[in-house]
Amino acid sequence: MQRLLGIFLIIGFLFPLTWISESFAQENPAFDDSAGITIAPPTNVKAYDHPGDAGGAIVVEWDLSPQDHPENDLILGYEIFRAVYPDGEYESIGVASPGHTSYMDANAEDEHEYIYKVTATSGNGPSATAISNPAGSSPEWINFGMTNLFIIGLIICSSVIYFIMHAKKGGKLFLRKIGGLEAIDDAIGRATEMGRPILFIPGIHDMDDVQTIAGLTILNYIAKKVAEYDSRLHVPVCRSIVMTTARESIKEAYLSAGRPDAYSDDFVHYVTDEQFGYVAAVDGVMVREKPATCFYLGAFFAESLIMAETGNSIGAIQIAGTAMPAQLPFFVAACDYTLIGEELFAASAYLSGEPKQLGSLKGQDVGKVIAMAAIGVGVLVETIYVISGSSAIGNLSSFIKNLFVLG
Amino acid sequence: MRRQVPLAITFIVGWTLIIAVFIPHPPFGQLGENFTTYFDIIAVFAFILGGGNLIRVHGNKVYKKRQDWPYSIVTILGFVVVLIAGLFKIGNPDGLSGDLTQPGSLFQDLYTYIFAPLQATMFSLLAFFVASASYRAFRAKNKEATVLLVAAFIILLGRTPIGGYLTFWLPESLSFFHIPNLAYWIMTIPNLAGQRAILIGISLGVIAMSLRLILGIERSYLGGEGERS
Amino acid sequence: MPLYEKLKNIDRRVIYIFIALSVIIPLVFKIAFTEQASPIVQNIFDKIESLPEGSRVILSYDYSPSTAPEIQPMADALTRHILEKDLRLYNMALWAPGHNIATETTDRIIIAEFPEKVYGEDYLNLGFKAGNEFLIAVILTDLKKMYTTDAKGTDIDSIPMMQGVKNLRNFDLILSLGGGKPGLKEWILFAGDPGHIPVAGGATAVSAPNLYPYYPEQMLGLMGGMKGGAEYESALMKIYPQYKNKSHPGIDLMGPQAIAHLVIMIFVIIGNITYFIARKRGEER
């Protein structure tokens, strides 16, 4: 205790420093009054249909007022007015900050054409106005701004499907060993030997999250093993649809293991949708039932460490897997094995050993090659540009970057 | 047939929604949102299953006086009281037409004095568990673990004012080594690079998994068909 | 038992006691430090500072009471800043408990500190709606499809602040506080990117690293954890010194956080010392 107080005394020494740093506080710079200056309006106002949308939006663009400079604070913003073309009355529809050269009118109706005027506002009142061309909005059939996404998606999907077909025809595929999945059988065996239950947590998301589906595919495998070993399975869930799906999956697993008689709906039960209420209940189950093995496979948030540390404290073997990057360090620290990101999605293919499923994993490697090549080329070109300063290489760098920007 | 129908629905809806991403024109542009709304509606009805299961499991426990059955009474009571307080807006100054969260309503009081402190208590356990997990996990067992340990210390200091005080004396030319700047650099450069790599891997994993689901290759979540080894 | 053995087999409950004390003692003795906004936080402040009077800002309460101690300082500071700048504030929630928190913040900050502000003209509570990220996707094109009334049940068309608001594209800035799902990431993916609307916000320290990949291209700023809130408070106090006398829980709670970090570091050092002694003795490899 004395040591602790010592530590706090040392920290207390740092406290007066707060006073020192406060003395460095800066005051708000005085506003530069600019009365008497005439404000020039923005110029070259254009209006056009916002591309690649379902209609209802028109983009208004202009060139800045010549007096719009960050250093002089003269311009307070731009006000945009709209009128139905040709004879409607103008009404103010919005404002844009100084330095901004566009505004999206998202309240357009497709059946009208509109005309816009833009005025620069200042402390002395508004400037003269500049008027746009008439423009209308309409829905489009194809969003060409997503062509790049379409092509990349097409390549990745095609390669996944190609390798699935390839594997179906008996093509050989190499898959590295995944420790966490190799350990599942041993973990179930250990629980059986100890006569203690196996706890399975499918995350806290619903069935619309692919992580939950990935978790349930592994649950199916685990349930089959549990049925074979005649062990006990406990699956508390926090979503009703997950409850019904998990039951269905376990029931089928017991059926295919030849143990339909051993199945009970009580293996899976609903607790609550509320995140921390669910954690409290799961921790309670852990402390009371002391499961020998805990699986955490699905989507997790802050509850990951609370559950994994409780599991650690009761000496359970723990296998986790999630695609939530922020929770991975917690699982790695507190669990025996952790499936990192894509390993969770690969798990069911890996466990089933089905060529068709394994082929899909190979196909996703093509996506990785594209990503690595794009990153490598992008970094190289940008680095050369920074070193050389060549505008041609700068343009090439921008071109590569824009290849991966959605319009 | 029991498997074929859901697989066919998955196939048709899956491809339609993928294609709809690139077609903004009605009715395709709104398909994604509409289908999600359908899911939400189904999920709301499914809650009846969940709530029913909760009452059944805990009711059974109380009825058969199984181990720890008094806790089940607390669960059932909590469920019923909050449900009634919310449905009938008990104590609400504006009655049934007012906002559920108005001061004075039983629902808001239950929220303020029970729900909020309980939630905060559970979340605050993280502080304790982070400490014990860090104590166990951060060991300089090898070079990589040592780098991780040093980075962790810089972040721990850099995320508090103490980090700033420790290196405030550094000249401008060495400002990169100012602990908050170092922590910021670790978070936005090496950490970000790793995060992005994991995210790319996860996204590709999601694509492959989704394709397996849409093509009906992955069906074990439906219970499978005895194909597993 | 020698000291080495005691330290090697340290009970986790001992660690818990020290962590509890490291939080309680600085709270009791009010140990506090000053903060300086980092660029990622300052960007949010500068954005709000640059918005013209009357600009529309959404503040989405996407968190529950569990993370409120960490997130609430951000909500308080943002609310003060937005109203101080005479912007129009639209509170909403993607999380059900978020609505309760928004109501509580309105009572404590807006009604108490800005009595001149009028509900429906200067600020509005749209309340909670179910639908998660798909709610965002829907209101990106048509807000009234999901919100026909505000949280009080008033018809949305009769509210002055809603005149001229058709969808999210009519807003100048979206701020989301939380870090879970749905949260800031969903606002970026379903509103900021497709609608070209500036998005920023705050997240718990645990979730913040998830959001760094979106900065600065897709997310103009981020307040990470208690420190993010404290930095925003300090930025606010720098330009608006009147807030030095008001509550600043972020800055106040950075003291306990700093000490708790030190305690964790001390335990990690102890763990490493015992590990190296054990390795020297050949007990561990």
Task: Count structural domains, chain A.
Answer: 2
pLDDT of residue C188: 95
Which residue out of B128, B179, B200, B202 would a mutagenesis test of the C interface target, given it has the greatest number of C Cβ atoms within 10 Å? B128
Q: Which of A97, A120, A136 is the last residue of a domain?
A: A136
Q: Are A123 and B174 in contact (CB under 8 A)?
A: no
> Does A129 lie in the same domain as A232?
no
The percent of residues in chain B predicted with pLDDT above 70, rounded, is 96
Of A139, A214, A253, the CB nearest to B24: A139
Q: How far apart are the first and last CA of chain A?
A: 62
pLDDT of residue A8 exceeding 80: no
**How far is the alpha carbon of B7 from chain C, nearest alpha carbon, in Å?**
24
**A345 occurs within a structural domain:** no
Which residue out of B19, B34, B204 would a mutagenesis test of the A interface target, given it has the greatest number of A Cβ atoms within 10 Å? B204
Output the six-digit token pair for A284: 């309670």
**A351 occurs within a structural domain:** no
pLDDT-derived band of residue A338, with 50, 70 and 90 as boundaries? Answer: very high
Chain B partners of A160 at a C-beta cutoff of 8 Å? Answer: 207-208, 211
Please, which chains are in contact with A (at least 3 CB pairs closer than 8 A)? B, C
Chain B partners of A139 at a C-beta cutoff of 8 Å? Answer: 24-26, 29
Match domain C39-247 to its CATH number in 3.30.43, 1.20.1300, 3.30.379, 3.40.50: 3.40.50
Chain-chain contact of B200 with A224 (C-beta, under 8 angstroms): no
**A346 occurs within a structural domain:** no
Chain-chain contact of C66 with A28 (C-beta, under 8 angstroms): no
pLDDT-derived band of residue C166, with 50, 70 and 90 as boundaries? Answer: confident
- Determine the Cα–Cα distance for residues C17 and B132; give it in Å rounded to an integer: 11
**A8 occurs within a structural domain:** no
> Does A317 lie in the same domain as A190?
yes
Output the six-digit token pair for A59: 């983009």
pLDDT of residue B220 exceeding 90: no
**How far is the alpha carbon of A4 from chain C, nearest alpha carbon, in Å?**
8
Q: Please indicate if any CB of chain B lies within 8 Å of the CB of A352.
A: yes
Q: Which of A335, A364, A394 is the last residue of a domain?
A: A335
CA A254 to chain centre: 36
Nearest alpha-carbon partner for A77 in C65, B52, C85, C6: C85
**What is the residue range of A260's domain?**
184-335
Chain A partners of B135 at a C-beta cutoff of 8 Å? Answer: none
**A159 occurs within a structural domain:** no
pLDDT of residue A5 exceeding 60: no
pLDDT-derived band of residue C135, with 50, 70 and 90 as boundaries? Answer: confident
Chain C partners of B139 at a C-beta cutoff of 8 Å? Answer: 271-272, 275
> Does A122 lie in the same domain as A197?
no
**A75-79, A200-204, A295-299, C104-108: least confidently modelled range:** A75-79
What does DSSP assign to residue C171?
-
pLDDT of residue A96: 85
pLDDT digits (tens, 9 = 90+) for A344-399: 999 988 988 888 888 888 888 889 999 999 999 999 999 999 999 999 999 999 99
pLDDT of residue A283 exceeding 70: yes
Chain B partners of A270 at a C-beta cutoff of 8 Å? Answer: 49-51, 53-54, 57
Where residue A97 sits, what CATH number does that domain have? Answer: 2.60.40.10
What does DSSP assign to residue A327?
G
How is chain C split into domains, by residue range?
Answer: 3-30+264-280, 39-247
Chain A partners of C263 at a C-beta cutoff of 8 Å? Answer: 7
Where residue A214 sits, what CATH number does that domain have? Answer: 3.40.50
pLDDT digits (tens, 9 = 90+) for C85-102: 999 999 999 998 899 899
pLDDT-derived band of residue A117, with 50, 70 and 90 as boundaries? Answer: very high
- Determine the Cα–Cα distance for residues B28 and C260; give it in Å rounded to an integer: 53
> Does A312 lie in the same domain as A215?
yes
For residue A320, the cross-strand partners are A296, A338
> Does A304 lie in the same domain as A218?
yes
**A360 occurs within a structural domain:** no
> Does A211 lie in the same domain as A132?
no
Decide the pairing of beta strands C173-178 and C199-203.
parallel
Cβ partners under 8 Å of residue C68, min gap 6: B116, B120, C101
pLDDT of residue A1 exceeding 60: no
Q: Please indicate if any CB of chain C lies within 8 Å of the CB of B11.
A: no
> In one letter, which amino acid is B180?
P
Higher pLDDT: A32 or A328? It is A328
**A142 occurs within a structural domain:** no
> Does A300 lie in the same domain as A203?
yes
pLDDT of residue A15 exceeding 70: no
Nearest alpha-carbon partner for C181 in C32, C19, C67, C29: C67
Mean pLDDT score across all residues of chain B:
87
Average pLDDT over residues C38-67: 93
- The question of ipTM being above 0.90 is answered as no
Chain-chain contact of A245 with B221 (C-beta, under 8 angstroms): yes
Q: Which of A303, A335, A367 is the last residue of a domain?
A: A335
Average pLDDT over residues B51-70: 92
- Determine the Cα–Cα distance for residues B156 and B131; give it in Å rounded to an integer: 12
Q: Please indicate if any CB of chain C lies within 8 Å of the CB of B159.
A: yes
pLDDT digits (tens, 9 = 90+) for C221-280: 999 999 999 999 999 999 999 999 888 999 999 999 999 999 999 999 999 999 999 888
CB interface of C with A, residues 199-238, below 8 Å: 204, 206-207, 209-210, 237-238
**A17 occurs within a structural domain:** no
Mean pLDDT score across all residues of chain C:
91
Chain A partners of C239 at a C-beta cutoff of 8 Å? Answer: 28
pLDDT digits (tens, 9 = 90+) for C181-210: 899 999 999 999 888 899 999 999 888 888
Please, which chains are in contact with B (at least 3 CB pairs closer than 8 A)? A, C
Nearest alpha-carbon partner for C215 in C196, C203, C200, C195: C200
> Does A317 lie in the same domain as A208?
yes
Q: Please indicate if any CB of chain A lies within 8 Å of the CB of C268.
A: no
